[in-house]
Every structure is written in C-alpha cells, then in structure tokens.
C-alpha cells in the first residue's frame, strides 16, 4: 500500500507544529507561533532588517556567480590540460572534504565581516561546480 507523499509531509508539519505548541508553553526558552509571526511582521517593515537581508542575498548571489564562472573556467582548463587537472585535483578534493560548519567557523575567525558571505559561498559552491 503506497501512502501519498503529501499526506506524510502534512503529518510531519502537524507533528512539528504540535511540538512547537507544547514547547512554547514555557515562554522563557521557546517563543509561541504568534510571537514569532508578530516579530517576523515587525521585521518586514524595519528598513534596516530588509536592507541587511537584501545585501546578504546580493552578496551570496555575486559569490555564487563568481564560483560558477571560476568553476567552469577551471573545469574547462582541466579538460584541456591533464597537467593542470592533476595540479588542481588535490585542492578540489580538500575543499570538497571540509564540512560546511567548519568552513563557516574558520572563515568567521579569519575573514573580514564584509567578505564572509562571499568567502563561505565561494568555498562551498566552487568545488561542486568544478566537478559538474
């Protein structure tokens, strides 16, 4: 008997919602759904929050495009030159093996605050694009 995937997803959402309601009874640690919704709406009209959000999204998008371009260029060069492929292969393997959370923590400690978004997205996306 095949169970519809949408029904399973709905049950999962209902379970999460029920857990949220139960956990939010003690308001000190877990806010209620209404408090979260109210704060979300308040943040939507706050110009500082919206501008920070748009700035972060644009930085991520720029970093993604840069990684895409660099990944394709280096992949093409690797396709044409076996020597270059052998030279860059250890770097790509190393970048692919690093867990994302480790990258985030290291980058936060080393890189300037304005460059964090660019650096993290580039380090995570570049090896994926190169392999494709």
Interval 100-111: pLDDT, tens = 898 889 889 998
Would you say 100 and 39 are in contact if contact means Cβ atoms under 8 Å apart?
no
The CB density around residue 12, as the number of other CB atoms within 10 Å, is 10
Q: What is the pLDDT of residue 2?
A: 64
For the segment 114-119, the average pLDDT, to the nearest whole number, is 86
Q: What is the pTM of this model?
A: 0.66
pLDDT digits (tens, 9 = 90+) for 20-52: 888 888 767 788 888 889 988 988 888 888 898
The CB density around residue 118, as the number of other CB atoms within 10 Å, is 19
pLDDT digits (tens, 9 = 90+) for 49-96: 889 889 889 988 999 999 999 999 999 999 999 999 999 999 888 888
Phi, psi of 46 (to 5 degrees): -80, 115
d(CA 103, CA 43): 29
For the segment 108-122, the average pLDDT, to the nearest whole number, is 87
Q: What is the pLDDT of residue 73?
A: 93
Q: What is the pLDDT of residue 116?
A: 87
The tokens for 62 are 């720029």
């Amino acid at each position: 008997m095949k169970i519809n995937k949408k029904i399973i997803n709905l049950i999962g959402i209902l379970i999460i919602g029920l857990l949220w309601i139960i956990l939010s009874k003690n308001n000190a640690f877990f806010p209620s759904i209404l408090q979260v919704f109210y704060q979300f709406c308040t943040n939507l009209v706050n110009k500082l929050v919206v501008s920070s959000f748009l700035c972060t999204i644009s930085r991520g998008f720029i970093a993604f495009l840069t990684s895409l371009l660099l990944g394709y260029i280096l992949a093409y060069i690797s396709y044409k030159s076996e020597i270059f492929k052998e030279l860059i292969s250890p770097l790509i393997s190393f970048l692919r093996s690093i867990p994302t959370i480790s990258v985030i923590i290291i980058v936060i400690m080393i890189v300037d605050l304005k460059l964090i978004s660019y650096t993290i997205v580039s380090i995570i996306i570049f090896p994926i694009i190169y392999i494709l």
